Structures are given as structure tokens and as C-alpha cells.
Amino acid sequence: MQYRVLIIDDEYLIRISLKEGLTDLGYLTRETETIREGLALAEQFKPDVVILDNRLGDALGMEYIESIKKIDEDIQIIIITAYGSVSQAVQAIRRGAYDYVQKPFDIEAIDIVIRRALEELKRRRRLELLSSGAMPDLIGESPQMKRVKKQIELLSAKDGVDLLIRGETGTGKGVVACQIHQKSGRRNFPMVKINCSAIPENLFESELFGHEKGAFTGASARKKGLFELANEGTIFLDEIGDMPLSMQAKLLTFLEDRKFRRVGGLGDVEVNVRVIAATNHPLEQAIREKTFREDLFFRLNAVQIDLAPLRERREDIEPLCRYYLD
């Protein structure tokens, strides 16, 4: 993933040297000399990090930290100035800046601060999205459960493969999804669980893909959707059979090119997530009834795990009883 850095500084040589140096390091950069143009660019460019000069003519950069955060609260702001002091550093951080750097500086030092800011953002998202507690156990030694456990091991090693988990309510679809995620190379990134039957149809797209400021009444700031927050991790779409048809089309488009647009957005957002879907519905019947898209079914059903109910694997009753009674 290429991170975006916006530079707001009224000194031409510093601005251009930052832009060229950070571009050489692999960042996607934009630059401007005024706070007014900077706020407009923050809306359009959607930066991950803003490098903000604290002295912009008569303006004080730190006074605009809140304005930048209103555009996107996840933007990490680094204040730079030749007029630094400890009190200004504390004030900038209290207002929401990630860090404070004094001129003169070298590009390697800025790169280190940017990397730390991005790591801090990743950690915060993991804390917000990952549930606490140990990985749930999958209990059972029946032939059916042994087969499922083998599938989990195989699919954990292939973390770029989307899949569909099928089974009645209570058979452990969520447990299987958690095990696949936590044993995979994505384990250190979020697993976001979405109950498709619990989201109102008119909010579905905004919840999954986010929205831009002003996209609809009440959208006072840009909001990142669950797919974007799960970047590098796993999306678990529980009860996929209850997803509205309009969203099924958008999900299919995402699965094909791994890009989406926020509600009200003009540009594509690209993320790297694994999609695990689950259902207790007979989707073939839903296809015949035209409540589920056939093309989406075939896209998800390329890899499938079937979970048998307990009545079909009676040899698992005793180990389950021991597990819950111990």
C-alpha cells in the first residue's frame, strides 16, 4: 500500500525538498504553500499524513489541526517549525498532532516520524477492531470436524483466497472464520465481523465502504468504512444471504478488482483484505427466488467449508460436554 503525504509549508525549498525526498522513499505526495489550499487538498487527496508548517505567513499552523481532523480524524499530523518550543510542542500534541519536529531536519528523520505515526494508527485500529480474548476453540474429533480442521490449516496458509462457510445456526461458522484469520499471515491485522442481517439497507453501503463529507444529511466529516478499516486483515460477512441485492452487486465489483468508492466519493479506494462469508441459508434456492446473485455465489463458492450439525456427528457430544463442564 502506498501511503499519502500532504505537505503544507510556505517555504518553497523546504516544501519541494520534502516532496522529492518522500517521493523517492515511496510515498505519494502533494504539496501547497497555504493553509486554505491545504484544507482543499486534504479533502481531495485524502492523505494519511499531513506535514504542517507551524508558521504560514500570519497564520499559525497548529490552529488548523482541528480543521484537518474534521476532514478525517485518522489523518496523522506532524508539525514542523523553525520557531519551536517545548510549550508549542505540548500544545500541538494536545490539539491532536502526532508529533512536532524542529527545522532544520533531514529527510530520514521525517521518514522515521511518518513511519511511527502510521504504526500508531495501525495499532489504534487493531485495538478498536480486534476482540479481546484467546482464539476460540473448535471442539470435536468426528471425521467431519477433522476434515474442517484440515481445511482451516490449508486455508490459513493461503490468505489471499476468499471463501464461503456454510452451516446451520450454532455449528461454529464464526469460530472457523476466527481460526482461519488468527492462524494466517493476517493475524496481526484486524478481523472485522459484519452481521449482514443487522444493518439497515439504507446504511449498508456507508457502513461497508464509508462516506465523504456532505455525501448525505448528517455526513459532517469523511468516515472510513469497515472494509477500509480492515485493510491487510479479514472481513467476515456473516449471514451473507441477508445482504440486499444492491449491495451484492457492489460487493461483487469489489471482489473482482479490490477497489471501491466511498458514498459521495469520486476516486477509488484500494484495500487488501480477505473476505470470508458465511450463511445458514440455502443460497441455491435464494438464487432461484432471485434474492441472491448467481455470479456472487460462484465468486464466493470457489472455496467452501461445510459444517455439519451436531446431530450428524454424535461422537462430538462427549468432548463438547467435557469442554463446557471443565
Instruction: Classify residue 218: in a domain, yes or no.
Output: yes
DSSP string across 121-145 = HHHHHHHHHSPPSPPPP----SHHH
Residues 67 and 214 in one domain: no
DSSP helix/strand/coil, 165: strand
Distance of CA 156 to CAs 150, 176, 265, 312, Å?
10, 11, 34, 26
CB burial class (10 A; 0-12, 13-18, 19+) of residue 184?
Answer: buried
Q: Are residues 185 and 113 in the same domain?
A: no
Total domains, the chain: 2
Per-residue pLDDT at 58:
78
Residue 97 to residue 42: CA distance in whole angstroms = 15
Q: What is the pTM of this model?
A: 0.68
202 and 314 fall within a common domain = yes
Burial class (CB in 10 A: 0-12, 13-18, 19+), 289: exposed
- Give the SS3 label for residue 290: coil
At 181, which CATH number? 3.40.50.300
Residues 74 and 147 occupy one common structural domain: no
Report angle CA 74, 59, 50 to the nearest 5 degrees.
25
| Tens-binned pLDDT, residue by residue, of the chain (326 aa) | 689 999 999 889 999 999 999 999 999 999 999 999 999 999 889 899 999 998 887 788 889 998 998 888 889 999 987 765 657 767 888 888 988 888 788 899 899 999 989 887 776 665 555 444 456 788 889 999 999 999 999 999 999 999 999 999 989 999 999 999 999 999 989 899 999 988 888 889 999 999 988 888 767 678 889 999 899 999 999 999 999 999 999 999 999 999 999 999 888 999 999 999 999 999 999 999 999 999 999 999 989 999 999 999 999 999 888 888 87
Considering the domain architecture, whether residues 249 and 292 belong to the same structural domain is answered as: yes
Q: Which residue has 502506498 as its cell numbers?
A: 2
Boundaries of domain holding 290: 143-325
Q: At residue 37, what are phi and psi to the nearest 5 degrees?
A: -65, -35
Residue 70 sits in a domain of what CATH number?
3.40.50.2300
Residues 29 and 167 in one domain: no
What pLDDT shows up at residue 183? 94
